[in-house]
Structure 1
Amino acid sequence: GYIGKAELEFSEKEIQNHYDKLNRPKKIYLKIEFSSSEQQLFQGDFNLTHDSMIYFQTDKPIYRPNEMVRFRVLEIDRSLNSKSDICNLTIKNHQKIKLDFISLTLEAPYYIAEYEFQLPQIAKEGIWEAELFCN
């Protein structure tokens, strides 16, 4: 459901302080974290200098060994239009060892890329990572 709304406002001077010597924008991050007394509900870091937003989704939050993990990626621009791109997906186990790497293409007509990864039959518990980098 709807939690609330927040607005950020930066002065021109503050924005200019975030450019390097070649007039390229430095990264400005916004960290959002909502928590309840029982569990953490949402946490994310958003780069405010990019002109697009990437939605990276799995089919469920927790997996067991030997299950199939399904990923879906969508990128939109500031006008909320779908955007074509090439994204690299890296999957790492709980020890941060890379187990899989694939390049995903977001293109017309749907601009959505999907991928499946089979977890090993014998997998230790822990937090695995799926890193996504888009051009």
Structure 2
Amino acid sequence: MTNSNILLVDNCSADVESVKKAFSEIGIKSTLHLAQNDAEAWLMLQGENKISPIPKIVLIDINEESVNGIHLLNKIRVHPDLKSILVFVITRTDNDKNKAAALNLNIAGYMHKPDESEKITDFFSILNDYWNIIEFSSEKK
């Protein structure tokens, strides 16, 4: 999955830095784009700041304050150009209502963020292995 785009939607600066560090340590070649909330993410998917090509993967913490992740997931799933994006919910907090809603929106996975930096690298290494063995559409948007 080299030379593709990944969008991370998370407003916790420490978590964002941990993800960036893990991507660097693992050598993930995809470009990581950052959005602090659902509105900013939507602009990056369909607005003035549209990422091109459209990200194949979105990582989102739907339980962060000021991130309306379920709203964003709904918009992604009904949009013809975005509905095939793999969305992974990665969070530290438990919220059964959000978990059920996200799973009902056909997410690729609902996972808990590791607390320790070495575990975050291992966590993203496993995800990267998965991303590299699955097939994505070659269609460019």
Q: TM-score range by the shorter chain?
A: under 0.3
More helix, by proportion:
2
Rg: which structure is higher?
Answer: 1
TM-score of the pair, normalised by structure 1: 0.23
Q: More relative contact order in 1 or in 2 (CA 8 Å, sep 6+)?
A: 2
Q: Which has the higher strand share?
A: 1
TM-score by length of 2: 0.22
